[in-house]
């Protein structure tokens, strides 16, 4: 896919390590100039160096994504030094509150919600006006399959990721007339510092989530490849949907009628219904 994003600018929040780093490097390898944002200078610099080694311009910017002024200043700096932002990847997230709801620190619980959800909203809020003016753009929110299932020990993280999925759909609906696509992407179980800590501290992990062997871990490069494909325009018709790193975009696009008809790839309730139904719709780009 090298060259697909030549001349475009991407921002990756949470780009200092793990999935965010893999996405940043892949975007650079596809030709995009990449700015990586996060809280720690050293890992951000390391990611920026990897992006540069892939042949792309890069910037490392320390930024707290929950701070509105900092986010606005960061996005302005990116546009001033690299150019107009075409792709935003909201990858920043924390998982500090692991434990039963009445035993954990409420501030840690709220931080998990705020970093993922407020961070994604503030970043989108900062870049969308420019995307609308230019009539193009892609926003990818890194969420999780955890959004769809309950767990007694990670309630804040799951609440945040579920909210991010719904935010993606709402943003997609709002942005559809402006040729801006928004996606919620679940990486699957990637071996990161966060998942390794979860494996140690979440009592439900061994029975419910742990891969049986290293073969079952999702490589971060698979997630990155999906994000690059979406940034390249290969997700047309799927804006607002909840996607997984294992999804085949070409196959999904061939089956759009089925996806629409069966209301697939939404984070939604399944229940017995009577009376009227409210059907989600696929938000199309303006032609």
The answer to whether 1 and 25 are in contact (CB under 8 A) is: no
Q: Which of 149, 153, 157, 209 is catalytic?
A: 157
Residue 219: count of CB within 10 angstroms of its CB: 14
Q: Is the distance from CB of 187 to CB of 140 less than 8 angstroms?
A: no
Q: State how far the Cα of 230 lies from the Cα of 148, in Å rounded to an integer.
A: 22
- 10 Å CB burial of residue 220 (0-12, 13-18, 19+) is buried
Structure tokens at 112: 């998990």
Residue with tokens 């890194």: 142
- 240: left (phi > 0), else alpha (psi -120 to 50), else beta? left
Q: Among this protein's residues, is 157 annotated catalytic? A: yes
Establish how many alpha carbons lie within 13 A of residue 141's alpha carbon, considering only the half-sphere containing its beta carbon: 35
Q: Could you tell me which of 29, 72, 24 has the C-alpha nearest to residue 45?
A: 24
Give SS3 for 244.
strand
Phi/psi-derived region of residue 4, left when phi > 0, alpha when psi is between -120 and 50, beta in every other case:
alpha
Strand 33-38 and strand 58-62: the pairing is parallel
**Active-site residue set:** 157
């Amino acid at each position: 896919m090298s060259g697909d994003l030549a001349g475009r600018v991407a921002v990756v929040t949470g780009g200092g390590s793990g999935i965010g780093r893999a996405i940043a490097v892949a975007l650079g390898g596809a030709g995009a100039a990449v700015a990586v944002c996060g809280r720690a200078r050293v890992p951000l610099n390391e990611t920026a160096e990897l992006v540069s080694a892939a042949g792309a311009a890069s910037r490392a910017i320390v930024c707290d994504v929950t701070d509105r002024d900092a986010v606005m200043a960061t996005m302005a700096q990116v546009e001033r030094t690299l150019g107009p932002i075409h792709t935003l990847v909201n990858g920043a997230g924390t998982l500090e509150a692991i434990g039963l709801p009445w035993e954990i620190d409420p501030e840690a619980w709220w931080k998990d919600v705020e970093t993922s959800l407020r961070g994604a909203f503030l970043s989108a809020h900062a870049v969308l006006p420019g995307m609308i003016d230019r009539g193009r753009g892609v926003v990818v929110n890194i969420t999780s399959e955890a959004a769809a299932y309950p767990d007694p020990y990670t309630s804040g993280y799951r609440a945040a990721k579920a909210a991010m999925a719904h935010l993606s759909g709402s943003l997609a609906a709002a942005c559809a007339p402006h040729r801006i696509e928004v996606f919620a992407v679940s990486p699957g179980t990637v071996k990161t510092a966060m998942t390794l800590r979860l494996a140690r501290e979440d009592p439900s992990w061994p029975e419910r989530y742990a891969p049986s062997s290293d073969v079952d871990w999702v490589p971060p490069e698979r997630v990155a490849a999906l994000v690059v494909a979406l940034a390249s325009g290969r997700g047309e018709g799927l804006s607002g949907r909840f996607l997984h790193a294992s999804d085949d975009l070409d196959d999904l696009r061939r089956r759009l009628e089925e996806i629409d008809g069966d209301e697939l790839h939404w984070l939604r309730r399944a229940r017995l219904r009577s009376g009227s139904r409210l059907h989600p719709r696929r938000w199309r780009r303006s032609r």
